[in-house]
Amino acid sequence: MFYLIIIVFTVLSMIVSARLKSKFKEYSQIPIGMTGAQIAEKMLRDNGINDVKVISTPGALTDHYNPANKTVNLSDWVYAQNTVAAAAVAAHECGHAVQHAHAYTWLGFRSKMVPALSVSSKLMPWLIMGGIFLYYSSGNAMILIAGIAMFALTTIFSFVTLPVEFDASNRALKWLDGAGILNRLEHDKAKNALKWAAMTYVVAALASLAQLLYYISILNNRRD
């Protein structure tokens, strides 16, 4: 069952990832009048945010907002390109900056989870593997329960991430529409690109939940 879960969600993740890359490649061929960096800077200004810097970061799809140092980090191609895809990504990441400035509840909750998650993610695999072995060999479930509890934290984090990502996209699309940067067709394409980006988070959350339920079933089945 465990391997079936892994295979199903790995294949699903690959499909979504391939679709995402395909859409971004397609929409990276549609030029507009501003680069991703210019769009990010304008969106921040329009929202009255003056203490966030827009910087370039190496790699592809490495775009993110860092609340710790208040930077919108855009991958090289998003930063420099003047395309629909770059506009969608840049505005989305600025959506997180707007969330931060407005103390968006789910973003704050997710940020508070990060320290605990960084610790549990390192210990959790060892506790689960060692816990399963110990549970089946001696019946002692304490280590396995601790591992499952840590895994549950990562699952919760995955689901908390969903409203954060969807809200950032909604803020981005609303601003892009109001600012008049994209025409209706370009706006629809930007919306489609962000939809597929969000789907990667949905698949990751569902995969984490399925894996968590599997670990819980091991605990219950052994007890039965």
- CA–CA gap between residue 124 and residue 141 (Å, rounded): 15
Tens of pLDDT, residue by residue over 86-138, are 999 999 999 999 999 999 999 999 999 999 999 988 999 999 999 999 998 88
Domains of the chain, by residue range, sit at 2-223
Q: CA dihedral defined by 40, 42, 46, 48, rounded to 10 degrees?
A: 70
Element (H, E) at 52: none
The per-residue pLDDT for 4 is: 78
Q: Which residues are part of the catalytic machinery? A: 93
pLDDT in tens, 48-65: 999 999 999 998 879 999
Amino acid at 27: Y
Average pLDDT, the chain: 92
pTM: 0.89
Listed in sequence order, the residues at least 6 apart from 121 whose beta carbon sits closer than 8 Å to its beta carbon are 150, 154
**CA 13 to CA 198: how far, in whole Å?**
12
Q: Which two tokens stand for residue 203?
A: 């698949």
Detail the DSSP E strand segments found in the chain.
53-57, 64-66, 71-75
Q: List, for residues 92-106, the tens digit of each pLDDT value.
A: 999 999 999 999 999
pLDDT tens-digit map of 152-210: 999 999 999 999 999 999 999 999 999 999 999 999 999 999 999 999 999 999 999 98
Instruction: Give the per-residue pLDDT at 59.
Output: 87
Tokens for 57, please give them.
């970061």
